[in-house]
Each structure stands twice: as C-alpha cells, then as structure tokens.
C-alpha cells in the first residue's frame, strides 16, 4: 500500500516541464497523478508514475534532481464530507499531513497523502475501515 512518488526539482524556465514529460514518454512511462508547487526560483513536480524506478533513473540521466518519497493513496467517495472524515481520523490520531493532492473520476476521488510516518498512517486508516489503493490500482485509473 506504500506508493513510490517522484519529486523532481525544476528551474522556473520555459520548457523544463516539457523535458520531463518527453523523457518519460520516450521510455513509455505513464504519469498517473501529479502536482506542481512553485516558488520564484524553482518548482517541485511530484508525480506517481507507472515505473518509478525507471523514471527516477532516466530523469537523473537527463540531469534532473530527483528523489523518491513514500506516499499513500486514499480512495474516498466523491461526495461532500468524505475527505473531511479521513482528515478527522488523522487529526484525532495525531498524524500530521505534510502535503496532499487529489483527483476525482465520476463518483470516486483518489487522494495522495504524504505523512511523516506512512506505515502508521496506513495502519490507522485501515483500522478505521478506509479504502487504500496500491500503485497498480492507480495506474489503472
């Protein structure tokens, strides 16, 4: 249930994001989810790919600064209050969220969550009967 996420540091200059996606496309690596955060000098592209090990390798070979993080993917109904329930569980259990991003398809939302203690977060969510996705399920969406 632990999912490997790539974090790619990008200079804020035209074409850098395109270079990342072209590099992955050339290697037949698909992106299932992503988020971009930026500052005035650089951006951080966080993404779930179909082959994180290969993606990290080819991006590093192209000169990108890349590292891998463990994250979890929570599946929640795409209805008002569903995400609030999951976040309340984390709050009640004292689990801090470093960041998260999400996407919804029809009646289901998938939330990528990074916490300081991913195994504890997984254990807590499962204890509360929350549904988690594994990496292969993300690739099928």
pLDDT in tens, 118-132: 999 999 999 999 999
Our CA angle for 45, 47, 50, nearest 5°, is 145
| Among candidate residues 138, 140, 141, 117, the one with its CA nearest the CA of residue 48 | 138
Q: Is 112 exposed, middle or buried (0-12, 13-18, 19+ CB in 10 A)?
A: buried
Distance in angstroms (rounded) separating the CA atoms of residues 114 and 42: 21
CATH architecture designation of domain 71-140 = 2-Layer Sandwich (3.30)
Q: Do domains 3-69 and 71-140 have the same CATH topology?
A: yes
CATH 3.30.2130.10 fits 3-69, yes or no: yes
Distance in angstroms (rounded) separating the CA atoms of residues 78 and 139: 19
- Show me where the domains of the chain are located: 3-69, 71-140
Low-confidence ranges of the chain (pLDDT < 50): none
Using an 8 Å Cβ cutoff, are 2 and 52 in contact? no
Distance in angstroms (rounded) separating the CA atoms of residues 67 and 82: 31
Q: What is the mean pLDDT of the chain?
A: 93
Distance in angstroms (rounded) separating the CA atoms of residues 54 and 56: 5
Bridge partner list, 110: 75, 103
Percent of the chain with pLDDT over 70: 99
Q: Is 93 exposed, middle or buried (0-12, 13-18, 19+ CB in 10 A)?
A: middle
Name the pTM for this structure: 0.90
């Amino acid at each position: 249930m632990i999912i490997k996420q790539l974090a790619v540091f990008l200079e804020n200059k035209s074409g850098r994001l395109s270079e990342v996606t072209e590099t992955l496309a050339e290697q037949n690596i698909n992106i299932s989810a992503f988020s971009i955060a930026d500052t005035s000098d650089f951006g951080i592209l966080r993404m779930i790919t179909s082959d994180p090990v290969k993606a990290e390798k080819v991006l590093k070979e192209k000169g990108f600064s890349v590292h891998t993080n463990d994250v979890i993917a929570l599946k929640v109904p795409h209805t008002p209050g569903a995400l609030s329930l999951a976040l309340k569980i984390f709050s009640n259990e004292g689990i801090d969220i470093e960041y998260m991003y999400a996407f919804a398809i029809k009646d289901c939302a998938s939330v990528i969550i990074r916490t300081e203690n991913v195994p504890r977060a997984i254990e807590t969510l499962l204890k509360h009967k929350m549904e988690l996705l594994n990496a292969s399920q993300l690739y099928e969406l």
